[in-house]
Amino acid sequence: MSYREEKDSMGPVLIPETAYYGAQTRRAVENFPVSGISFPPVFIQTLGLIKKLAAGVNEELGLLDPSLSSAIMEAAKEVAEGKFHDQFIVDIFQTGSGTSTHMNANEVIASRANEILTGKRGGKSPVHPNDHVNLGQSSNDVIPSAIHISALMEIQNRLIPALSTLKIRLAEKALEFKGVKKIGRTHLQDAVPVTMGEVFSGYARQVELGTNHLEQAKKGLLELALGGTAVGTGENTHPKFARRVIEKISAETGQAFREAKNHFEAQGARDAAVEVSGALKALAVRLIKIANDIRFLASGPRSGLGELVLQALQPGSSIMPGKVNPVIPEVVIQVAYQVMGNDTVIALGAQGGFFELNTSLPLICHNLLQSIALLASGVCVFEEKCIQGLGVDAEKCASTIEKSLALATALVPLVGYDRAAEIAKKAYETGKTIREIALEASVLPEDRLNDLFMKYFV
């Protein structure tokens, strides 16, 4: 492999000729070989979007030569389109401001812009990564802004549509199952019957509430730190720069982004990320409840509850032929656990806001975007591979109701609580049904008893 020599403030560095990144990126890679995890593509693409629009605004403000601006915008557009993901090689565990990945972006864009202008990639002329690509910007305002933009767009474009579809599918199942009575359960014990449709209507409402909570929380992401530069004072940036760039970001994304009301809050704290992560965690908890209910209601099929019927996606265990495990609910539950863990990490990272800068930005970004992506994918799989094909065993549901001691509740208005409890106890001891014991005790004639219990079956 052939190399080119580049210099930074620490001296010369050898860079592969095929690379678009430069000396600062190379030093970061050499110094931070921790996890092998880089920023996700959506974040890098957002950096490209910011750099493209920033170059255009700097040209409009008379701060950047049109020929340089044009090349930077073309190169940044390619980054925004995902053409250089392999050039973003800095580990997520790096300087807490995300400066290393920010310079990775500045160097890649400058290198590609120089290639556009001169036919030769790399170097700092005619386009310089700091003087031109980073004009009017700092890692300290660009990285928080990119986190907000990428997180909001992922929520808007991936997660919320997935949740909407899941809610619709659960509501459809509520209608499909509305005529199927099943035993209710409280404290894991038999309770009075409900319909399976009512159960699924509750799940649909959970998803709706989770979506509403997320919609509200994501509004905090609309404020962007651009314009604050190093410490929030706007040092070395044009007073109109941030407003104009953000207006263009809004136009490109269709979201009403705005400049932060207070740049010191926008750079020193990560409260919006914490609030969104909290909404994601709450959503994860909701999904755990739904997924666990479904896998328990489908348990068995002969020795468990067996009221729901899962489609067989992976028939047979490694040792037991014909066994059908609830694989998709278990996938969703594990996704939710990861999201809950990520929320803890984000909260801890948000505590790293010391004075004028939070220094856990890469960690917060990685966990927040991972939570959104995991939930979006997990919800889609849940809807497509589990809820769509879910069936109900109406006969098993009716049989369980008939055997339940909870039917004694219907006798309370006739014989009182204590007498109804005695009938339930005798039914338990003898293995008979409530209906049979009530008939033996001559509580009511058989036809009247049948009418009394009918509400639990129809």
58 pLDDT more than 80: yes
Q: β-strand 11-16 against 181-186: which pairing, if any?
A: unpaired
Mean pLDDT taken over the chain: 96
Evaluate the omega torsion of the peptide bond into residue 144 and state whether it is cis, within 30 degrees of 0.
no
Instruction: Report pLDDT digits (tens) over 231-275.
Output: 999 999 999 999 999 999 999 999 999 999 999 999 999 999 999
What integer is the mean pLDDT of 306-315? 89
126 pLDDT more than 80: yes
Catalytic annotation present for 187? yes
Tokens matching residue 205: 């409402």
317 pLDDT more than 80: no
Q: Which of 2-16, 249-263, 377-391 has the lowest mean pLDDT?
A: 2-16
Quote the percentage of the chain above a pLDDT of 70. 100
- pTM equals 0.95
Quote the percentage of the chain above a pLDDT of 90. 91
343 pLDDT more than 80: yes
Report d(CA 360, CA 366) in Å as an integer. 10
Q: What confidence tier does 91 reach under pLDDT thresholds 50, 70, 90?
A: very high
Buried b (16+ CB within 10 A) or exposed e, 231-258: bbebeebbeebbebbbebbeeebebebe
* Structural contact between residues 314 and 331, judged by C-beta atoms closer than 8 angstroms: no
pLDDT of residue 427: 94
pLDDT of residue 8: 87
pLDDT of residue 241: 98
Q: What confidence tier does 458 reach under pLDDT thresholds 50, 70, 90?
A: confident
**CATH number assigned to the domain covering 404-454:** 1.10.40.30
pLDDT of residue 62: 98
Report d(CA 76, CA 72) in Å as an integer. 6
* Per-residue DSSP letter, 409: G
Buried b (16+ CB within 10 A) or exposed e, 402-435: bbbbbbbbbbeeebeeeebeebbebbeeeebbbb
pLDDT of residue 315: 73
User: Could you name the CATH architecture of 3-135?
Assistant: Orthogonal Bundle (1.10)
Domain boundaries, the chain: 3-135, 141-235+249-394, 404-454
What integer is the mean pLDDT of 341-348? 98
Q: What confidence tier does 318 reach under pLDDT thresholds 50, 70, 90?
A: confident
386 pLDDT more than 90: yes
pLDDT of residue 233: 98
Choose among 183, 414, 207, 162: nearest CA to 307: 183
Q: What confidence tier does 278 reach under pLDDT thresholds 50, 70, 90?
A: very high
314 pLDDT more than 90: no
pLDDT of residue 319: 85
Marked catalytic residue, from 35, 67, 125, 317: 317
Marked catalytic residue, from 2, 187, 318, 442: 187
pLDDT of residue 454: 86
CATH of range 141-235+249-394; options 1.10.3720.10, 1.20.200.10, 3.40.309.10, 1.10.10.10: 1.20.200.10
Q: Which of 267-271, 333-337, 393-397, 452-456 has the lowest mean pLDDT?
A: 452-456
